[in-house]
A and B are shown apart, each in its own frame.
Chain A
Amino acid sequence: MYAHENRLTAWHIGIAFVALMVGMLLGPLQTWEHAGLNLYPALRSIGIQSYYQGLTIHGILNALVFTTFFITGFLTFATTHSLKRASKYPWVHTLALVVMFAGLLITAVPLLLNGATVLYTFYPPLKADPAFYIGLTLVVVGSWITGYGLLFTWSAWKKENPGVQTPLIAFASLITMVMWQICTVGVAVEMLALNIPWSLGLIAGTDPQLARTLFWFTGHPLVYFWLLPAYISWYGMLPKQAGGKLFSEPLARLSFWLFLILSTPLGLHHQYVDPGIPAGWKALHAVLTYSVFFPSMLTLFNVVASLEIAGRARGGKGTFGWIRALPWSEPSFTAQALAGILFAFGGISGIANASYDLNLVLHNTAWQPGHFHLTVGTGVAFSFMGIGYWLIPKLSGKELWSKKFGIYQAWTWFVGMILMSNGLHILGLRYSVPRRSALGVAPYASAEWTPFLIESALGGTILLISVVLLYVNYGMTVFAGKKLTREIEMPVAENAEGMPSPRWLDTWRPWLLGAVALVLVAYGPVIYILLTRLNLTSPGFRVW
C-alpha cells in the first residue's frame, strides 16, 4: 500500500546517510588538526584545499544536507504510516525529491571545487559562486514541497475521517513542517533579495548586518526543525520500542504547539554581540529563548515517564531498577536513549548561551561546537542513526546485519562525544579559545590548551570508530543482509491515558495566529530598524 512512500523515503534517507558519512569523516580530522596532527596537506590531492574547505563541507553536509533529506523522508514516512493513508499526490513528493536533489548537486559543485569556502553560515561579504546559493535555495524549496504534499494528504484524510483526532505522529510531523514554512521566510529573503543577486553581480553591495539577521531568523528555528523529528520518535515511537506507552499524550501535543509558537521569534540570541541591534530587542529574544526551554522540560519528563512505564512492564523494580530492565540490547533503543541523555547536557550548555550576558564569555568560543555536538550532533543525528536501525531494514527488506555492531556503535558514540564535547566546552569557557579556527597552526595557541585538545582528539578518534561501525552495519544490511522474513511496522506508542486529548489541542487557528503574531512583534521592529540603517556597501570577498 505504501510502496511509493517507502521507495521515496528510501531515497531521502539513502542520500542523507551518504552525505552524513562524507561530512562526518572530516570531523576527526578537525580534532586531530587542533591537537597538532595536521592531515590537510595530504587532502590536497583529493581536492580539499584547506581546513576551512573541509569545515565548510562538514557543516553543510551534516547540518544542512543530512538533516533536511532525512527529515523530509522520515516525516513523509511517519505521516502516511501514522494516518494509515497513502499520499494524496505522490507526484508532489517525487517533485520535492527531484528539486532537493538537483539543489544538492548544484551546491556540491562549488563546494567541492573550493568556490564556496564560506562555512555553513555563508556570512556575507564572503562571496561564494552563485551556484552555491541557488543550490541551497532549491534544497529548501524542495523541503517546502514535501510539506505541501503532507498537508494535501492530511486534509484528504480529514475529509475521510470527520471528527477523528489526528494521530500524534502525523500531528507532530505536520506542525514541524508548518513551523519550517514560517521560519524559512528569513533565509529565503536573504537568498533571493541579497545573496543571489549580489553573487550574480546584479547588485553591487550587500548589508552584512541585515543578512545575518535574516539568516538567524531561520537559523534558530532550524534547530527545532532538526530536533522535532527526534522528539516525534522519542514520544511517538521509542516508548513502544521499549515495551511501554506514552505517559501523557495531551502534554506531548501541547509541547509541539509551544514549539510552533516559540521556535522562531528568538533568533537574536545568536546576535547578542552584533553591533547593529539594540539591546532591548536582544533582551526580549533572551526571555523568549528561555521560554522555549519549557516545552523541552515537558518532553524530558514525559519521555522519561514513558520509559519508566516500559521498564516496569518489563519487570524492572525499585527506584532505578526499571532503567536496567529497558531493552539495552536493541541498538535502535540504545542509540536514542543515549542520545537523549547527552542532549540533556547540551540543553544545559545551551541555557548558558541563551543567557544574554553570560554569552559574552562564550560567544564564538570552542564552547559552541562543544554545545551543538551534544544537541544536533548527538540528540538529533545520533537519534536519526538509531531510527535507521529499524527504518533501514524496513525500507530495504533486509534484516539488520549485526545488533552487536549496533550496540558497540552506540556506546562508542556516547563515550567519544563525551570526551570531545567536554574538551571543547572547557577550552571555550576557561581559555576563550576561538571556534572555527585551524588551532594547530595558530600562533596564539597556548600550551595550557593541550590536554583538552588531546581529550577532544581522543573523542574524535573514538567517534571515527563509531562511524565505521555504523556504516559497515548499514552497508552490510542493505547490500548483503538476509531477506526479512517478517513485516517491520512503524512503532507507534499507545496513549497511556487511553482517551483522546482535549479538543483545544487539535485546533490549528489560535496556535498558528499566535505564532505569526509573536514573530511580527519580535522581529518586525528589528527589521524596520535595520532597514532604516540599510547599508548596501559591502562588495564581496574571496579570501580562501
Chain B
Amino acid sequence: MNNHTHLHIHPIERLWIIISFSMIGVFAVAVLTAGFAYGFQLPVPEDRIVDPNLVATPGATAFGEPGLRELSPGNMEARVLAQAWSFTPKEITIPVGTKVTFYVTTKDVQHGFHLEGSNINFMVLPGQISKLSTTFTTPGTYNFYCHEYCGVGHQTMYGQVIVTEK
C-alpha cells in the first residue's frame, strides 16, 4: 500500500519550474498591460446584432450605403460590406494622419479582414459588426485581405486603403 504524500523534486528541476513560472508570469503581465493600459484594441460586441439577410438593404442599416464618412476633422468612419467574394467599397482613400474607424459586416458567409500595416485584423461574421480604428502615418497603398475561407473565389477577395499626402 502506498501512503506517502511527499513529492520529490530534483533541485535543478525546481529551478526549471521557477523559471517557467516566472516566464509565463512576465509574458502574461506584458501582454495584458499592452492590451489594457496601452490601448491595443480587440473587437468587442457592438450594442446590436443585425440580420445578415437585411443588412445590405439601403435604408435598413448604415451598410446599405457602405463607404467613408467624416465625423469631425481628422476623424472618419468606414463602413465596409463583405460578401462572397468582394468588399464594398473596394478602395478607400484617406488623408495621412486621419483616424479611421472600420465597421465591417457580411451579408453571407464568414469572412476576415486584415489591413496591412495596421493592427486591424478581425473576423467578419454574419449577424455581428466588427469594429477597430487605426491612424496611418505614412502615405502609401495598403491592402486589406479576406483571410477566412469564403468559397472558391476566396483568394480574389481584397481591397485597398490609399493614404494620400495631406
Contacts and interface: CB of A to CB of B under 8 A. Distances in A.
Interface of A: 50-52, 117, 119, 123, 125-126, 163, 165, 207-209, 212, 247-248, 250-251, 254, 271-279, 282-283, 286-287, 290-291, 293-294, 297-298, 301-302, 305, 351, 355-358, 360-361, 363-365, 432, 434-439, 441-444, 497, 499-506, 529, 533, 535, 537-539, 541, 543-544
B20 A502 contact: no
B44 A356 contact: no
Nearest to B114: A432
Q: In this complex, which of B40, B46, B112, B153 has the most chain A Cβ atoms within 10 angstroms of its Cβ?
A: B112
Nearest to A502: B5
Contact of B44 (A165, A250, A278): A278
Nearest to A212: B125
Contacts of A283: 32, 35-36
B126 A538 contact: yes
A503 B6 CA distance: 9
B149 A207 contact: no
Contact of A275 (B32, B46, B156): B46
Given A286-B31, A361-B119, A537-B126, A543 B151 contact: yes
A351 B26 CA distance: 12
A435 B147 contact: yes
Interface string B23-64: 010011001101110001011111001011100000000000
29 contacts: A117-B152, A125-B126, A165-B2, A273-B42, A275-B122, A275-B123, A275-B129, A276-B125, A279-B44, A282-B42, A283-B32, A297-B16, A298-B17, A301-B13, A305-B10, A355-B27, A360-B121, A363-B122, A364-B112, A365-B114, A434-B112, A437-B154, A442-B155, A443-B156, A497-B8, A501-B7, A537-B51, A539-B53, A543-B84
B146 interface: yes
B8 A250 contact: yes
B143 interface: yes
B134 to A, nearest CB: 11
A48 B2 CA distance: 59
A18 B2 CA distance: 45
Tell me which of A254, A361, A444 has the highest count of chain B C-beta atoms within 10 A of its own C-beta: A444
A500 B122 contact: no
A251 B122 contact: no
Given A502-B6, A538-B127, 13 more contacts: A51-B155, A126-B109, A126-B149, A209-B127, A250-B8, A275-B129, A283-B35, A297-B16, A355-B31, A364-B148, A434-B114, A437-B149, A544-B151
B9 interface: yes
A355 B114 CA distance: 18
Contact of B7 (A305, A358, A441, A502): A502
B65 interface: no
B88 to A, nearest CB: 17
Interface string B122-150: 11111111110000000000010111111
Given A251-B13, A497-B8, A293 B24 contact: yes
B166 interface: no
Given A251-B9, A297-B20, A363-B114, A356 B125 contact: no
Given A208-B126, A357-B42, A363-B121, A286 B28 contact: yes
Contacts of A365: 114, 147
A500 B122 CA distance: 50
Nearest to B131: A275
Contacts of B3: 503
* Most A C-beta atoms less than 10 A away, residue of B6, B24, B109, B129: B109
Nearest to A542: B151
B45 A276 contact: yes
Nearest to A364: B147
Nearest to A499: B4
